[in-house]
Structure 1
Amino acid sequence: MKTLSYILFFTYVGLVVIAGFWGAFVNPYFDHRFLFDIQLYKLPDYQMINLVSQYRFLRALELGYGIFSLIFFKEIFQYKIYNHLYLGIMFLGVLARFFSILVEGTPSHLFLFFLGYELLGVVVIFFYTRGRLIPSHIVHE
């Protein structure tokens, strides 16, 4: 279970860091074509600028979450507060994907794969770390 938890953790966090950096600072135009089939150049300038600006911002947050996860890897698997924060954020992403299915409908197979992978990661890491976590010096546990 430890090996599977680590594999799911590092593959997920690795993708989050790469996708976050790519979308925020390298080529969000490719992302929109590949992920959403949106040709940004076809949008009016005002809409394109605002969409890309918000997309870069959200990808930068994703990058930050990935960097946090890498820096605090040991703490995430050892201390309750770090573990709950990491899994809580990851689970919110899963919930948002489920909510979107209910409200907007079924997304592409790629996004369904992400949903399944993220859910698997939350469940496996939760069960692996349950009972192993210790309180930390941080008061808000």
Structure 2
Amino acid sequence: MGTFVAARHRQEAMGMQGPGARREAARITGPWRWIDALAFQGYAWFLILVGGVLGLLVPRWGPLAFEVYARGVFDAGMPDQTLASALNQYRYMKSMEFGFGVFCVCFRDLIYTDRRFNRFYLGILFLGTAERALSVLLDGMPRPFYVAAIFIELSVGLIVFISTRRTLRAGLPPVG
């Protein structure tokens, strides 16, 4: 029995494991852990609370004067049906922000350990950043907050990309 235990410890020390065992992913440590947590969690909760809840749950007659806000974001001279259509699309996009934020919170562990979830998350984040930058080129310069959003989202994506190079389970088949 002692030989078996010694062999097992040797395997674990060498990074080898028995059949069916799952290798633990590397953990993020030091100050980078806090930078990564702030970037990932801050962005996810921003999507949920500011991007999603305020856009989804604030009705026309709501406490944040959503129609006044919308007329400031969109062209104030729009006919009512055009504004209603723009608001309809805007609320739909807010539901997508909300959904992505919930996805981030619910699947954080898989985003950091499973290559498919990681690529999916980073793909969405970098595609959104690219779309914002493309919009600046095609549509013109938006308000400063939206320009800053390009750099914030790019930074979040790069931080998570760098962090997950250590935490992805290399060589393991994807979950699911």
Do Structure 1 and Structure 2 share a fold, with TM-score over 0.5? yes
The question of 1:63 aligning with 2:98 is answered: yes
Counterpart among 46, 51, 54 of residue 22 in structure 1 = 54
Report the TM-score, using the length of structure 1 for normalisation: 0.86
Report the TM-score, using the length of structure 2 for normalisation: 0.70
* Regions of 4+ moved over 4 Å: none
In the alignment, the residues of structure 2 paired with residue 49 and residue 32 of structure 1 have an alpha-carbon distance, to the nearest angstrom, of: 10
Larger radius of gyration: 2
Deviations 1:12-44 (A, max 9, x none): 11111012121122154354256x2644xx532
Cα distance change on mapping 1:31 and 1:72 into 2, 3 Å: farther
In the alignment, the residues of structure 2 paired with residue 49 and residue 33 of structure 1 have an alpha-carbon distance, to the nearest angstrom, of: 11
Structure 2 equivalent of residue 86 of structure 1: 121
Q: Which has the higher helix share?
A: 1
Following superposition, the deviation at residue 74 of structure 1 comes to 1.3
Identity across aligned pairs (percent)? 27
The question of 1:50 aligning with 2:85 is answered: yes
In the alignment, the residues of structure 1 paired with residue 68 and residue 75 of structure 2 have an alpha-carbon distance, to the nearest angstrom, of: 9
Cα distance change on mapping 1:92 and 1:30 into 2, 3 Å: farther
The question of 1:32 aligning with 2:89 is answered: no
In the alignment, the residues of structure 2 paired with residue 52 and residue 74 of structure 1 have an alpha-carbon distance, to the nearest angstrom, of: 35
SS at match of 1:7: helix
Following superposition, the deviation at residue 5 of structure 1 comes to 1.2
CA RMSD of aligned residues (A): 1.8
Counterpart among 87, 106, 120 of residue 141 in structure 2 = 106
Unaligned runs of 5+ in 2: 1-31, 60-65
Cα distance change on mapping 1:104 and 1:52 into 2, 3 Å: same
Unaligned runs of 5+ in 1: none
